[in-house]
Amino acid sequence: MKLLLKKSLFCFCFCFVCCLFCFCFFLVAYLIIFHILFVLFVWTYWKSIFTLPVQPGKKYHMSYADQERYENEERPEVQRQILAEIARKLPVYTRTGSGGIRFCDRCQLIKPDRCHHCTVCAICVLKMDHHCPWVNNCIGFSNYKFFLLFLAYSLLYCLYIAATVFKYFIKYWTGELTNGRSKFHVLFLLFVAVMFFVSLMFLFGYHCWLVSRNRSTLEAFSAPVFQNGPDKNGFNLGFVKNLQQVFGEEKKLWLLPIASSQGDGHFFPMRALCEAQNPLLANEEQWEDDGIDEEPHDSGEASSLAIERET
C-alpha cells in the first residue's frame, strides 16, 4: 500500500513538473517571439524615418558658367543642346517624354536615372519611390530596403498579436470572460491588429511585386523613357538580380535593417545593356516577357500613353 502511494505521489509530482515546465516554456517562447518582432518592428520604423534621402552628387549639378549660359538662353532648342552637352559626361540614359535631358530647374541639376524631385522635401531624391506620410520621409534609394522590412515586420507583428488574442476573443463569445474591461481590450486589440494586417498585406504585396519587376511606384504609374522610347521593363534584370538590387548580395543581411543595396543610387543596370552583352539571354528574356508585359505596337500610341511626368 505504501509502495502504491509512493508511486502515485511520484507520478503526480512528475506530471505537475512537466506541466509547469511546458507552461513556462510556451510562456518564455511567446515572450521571446513577441519581443523579437517588436524590436525589429521598431528598428525598421526608426530607420525608415531617420534615414535621410540621398541627393545627387556634385557632378550632376550645373556649374555657375553653365547655369548662367542656360538661363540667358531663350531658345528651347539651344537649351536642350546645352543640357545634352553637359549630360555627355554623365551616365544618364533616361529622357523626358519629348526625348530631352531630364533637368530639375529648382535644384539646378541633371537628374540621374530614376531620380525625381520631391515637392514635399524640396529636393531631388535618388531612385525616389514615393513620399510616405506615415514615416514623414521620402522613400528612395537610401531607405527603400528599410521601408520594405518595416512593412514585413509590421505585418508579422499584427498577425502574431491577432493570433495570440484570438483565443480570448472566442472566450468572450462563449461567456468565459466576465470582466467587462477585459472584453473591451480584447475586442479593440483584435480589431486594430486585423485592420492593420489587411491594409499592410495589400501594401506589402504591391511593393513585393514592384521589387520583383525592379520598378518604383512612380515608374509603375509612368514608364521610364529611354532613347528608344518608353520601356516599363527597362530596369528589369530578372527576379534574383532585382532582389539583389534592393537587398544586396549578402543574404545574411537581407532581413536586417542594415544598408546593403547595390550601387550608389546614381546608376542602375539596364536590361538593354545586359541584352547587348548577352544576345542569347536577350532572346530568352524576350520569350519570357511575351504575353505578360507587351508594349503597344504603335510607337505613337506608346509615346502618348507612357509620357513620363517630371516630379
Reduced 3-state DSSP string for 215-272: CCHHHHHCCCEECCEECCCCCCCCHHHHHHHHHCCCHHHCCCCCCCCCCCCCCCCCHH
Q: How many CB atoms lie within 10 A of CB 82?
A: 17
What's the CA gap between 86 and 104, in Å, rounded? 14
Give the rounded distance of the alpha carbon of 108 from its chain centre: 28
Annotated active-site residue 19? The verdict is: no
Q: Three-state SS for 208?
A: helix
Catalytic residue among 132, 138, 208, 274: 132
**All residues at 6 or more sequence positions from 215 whose CB lies less than 8 Å from its CB, including other chains:** 232, 235, 236
Q: And the C-alpha cell for 194?
A: 486585423
Q: And the C-alpha cell for 239?
A: 527576379
Q: Three-state SS for 197?
A: helix
Q: And the C-alpha cell for 109?
A: 541639376
Which residues are the active-site residues?
132
